[in-house]
Amino acid sequence: MRRLLVTSLLLPLLLLGCNPQGRPNEAQAAPAPELLRALNRGVNLSTWFTDRGAPNIDPQRWYADASDFRLIRELGLRHVRIQVDPGFLQDPQQPERLLAAPLAELKAGIAQAQDQGLLVIVALQPSGEFKRQLVDSEPARQTLAGFWQRLAAALKSSPPSRLVFEALNEPMLDDAGASRALMQRLVTAIRSVAPGHTIVVAGHQYSDIGNLVAMQPLADTNLVYAFHFYDPHNFTHQGATWGWPLWARFANWPYPSSPEAVAPLLAGVDAEVREHLAWYGEQRWNRAKLGELLDQAGLWAARNEVPIWCNEFGAVRDAVRPEARRAWLSDARQLLEARRIPWSHWDYAGHFGLVSGPRGQRQLDPDAAAALELPAR
């Protein structure tokens, strides 16, 4: 109870740019309270400016247009988080240049979102291959910092109240100290050309809560610290064809979990899956257990007097029972809001999607909409 009390008392002040005594933090030009409020209740737009040229990416499904931003705004959401692969924008022959046509496409997408009053977060998402080079390649780190200088310079005309830069999504560096040093380097690069914009940073590896609480905050005060929330991954990622291969063989797992809840499923799966399913039942994943994890993030934020943001949470749609997905999403969303932690659903039209169907004919997922308390259409 004491942990919950500390979190509930401190986080509202921190999210409003105040210290625990309720006074404005000195030298904190931003994050502005209005921006932090806009970070609450948003959605990710995945695979729009990443994975270009992949054969399984249908632009009609994955790319957004003006009708999507109107729908997002009508649903009461306040921001969109757009991932961008540097390889989409960078001239391979002259790495110091940004390609004009892709940059214009990105700017047009940002403008369409902003025209609907949405805050835009541009999150850098290089390929996994490039991220792995960041571990021990100084040229790769230098390339990434230089890219941010060019991109931030190209976008900085959009005011800080309407555009946020996210230094690096899921750094994939195993060492927390090395990841922090890279984040600091990228923040410095962005600051050199865009001193007034808020920047999002995150912990090492895949930016889960455990990675966040292992992070030492940076000296810059105009930052938001992000984390992802997909616990338990064996539930939220069942049916996924990426990541851990065994996820593709998981389906119809219940939530909440208990030995009794999983018992009817055990006879219908092979031995390898059965072992993980049985353990999932024994772990008893439920609302209280999710809340204990989120308390760790809240306490870290309160202790370090910094704002935090859950910029990804969700569950794969196709292989999860609709009622189980709805229950998990509802619990996660309510628990985040109870702790005054702003959130962004993962994602809009992809495997975890809030909508299905092609552009101009989107169909809202009723279970996700109900779980997130979005108006029905």
Q: Domain residues of the chain, as ranges?
A: 2-231+286-371, 245-284
> Is residue 63 over pLDDT 90?
yes
CATH number of the 2-231+286-371 domain: 3.20.20.80
Q: What is the pLDDT of residues 320-329, one digit of tens each?
A: 999 999 999 9
Over the stretch 202-238, which tens digit does the pLDDT of each residue have? 999 999 999 999 999 999 999 999 999 999 999 999 9
| pLDDT, position 12 | 42
Reported confidence tier of residue 340, pLDDT bands at 50, 70, 90: very high
Task: Decide the pairing of beta strands 308-313 and 343-345.
Answer: parallel
- pLDDT score, position 10: 43
Neighbours of 289 (CB within 10 A): 15
- Residues 374 and 376: their CA atoms lie apart, in Å, by 6
d(CA 187, CA 191): 6
**Inter-residue contact 170 to 204 (CB < 8 Å):** no
Q: pTM score > 0.85 for this model?
A: yes
Question: Is residue 316 predicted with pLDDT exceeding 80?
Answer: yes
DSSP helix, strand, coil percent of the chain (3-state; round to 5): 45, 15, 40
Token pair listed for 106: 């990105």
Does 23 score more than 80 pLDDT?
no
Cis bond before residue 33 (omega within 30° of 0) = no
pLDDT per residue as tens digits for the range 122-158:
999 999 999 999 999 999 999 999 999 999 999 999 9
Q: Which residues contact 288 (CB under 8 A, 6 or more apart)?
A: none
H or E segment at 229?
Answer: strand 223-229
Q: What's the CA gap between 328 and 242, in Å, rounded?
A: 21
Residues 63 and 215: their CA atoms lie apart, in Å, by: 34
Answer whether 16's CB lies under 8 Å from 36's CB.
Answer: yes
Residue 5 pLDDT more than 70?
A: no
State the pLDDT at residue 19: 43
- pLDDT at residue 52 in the model: 86
Return the percentage of the chain with pLDDT > 90, whole number: 88
Lowest mean pLDDT among 8-22, 126-140, 362-376: 8-22
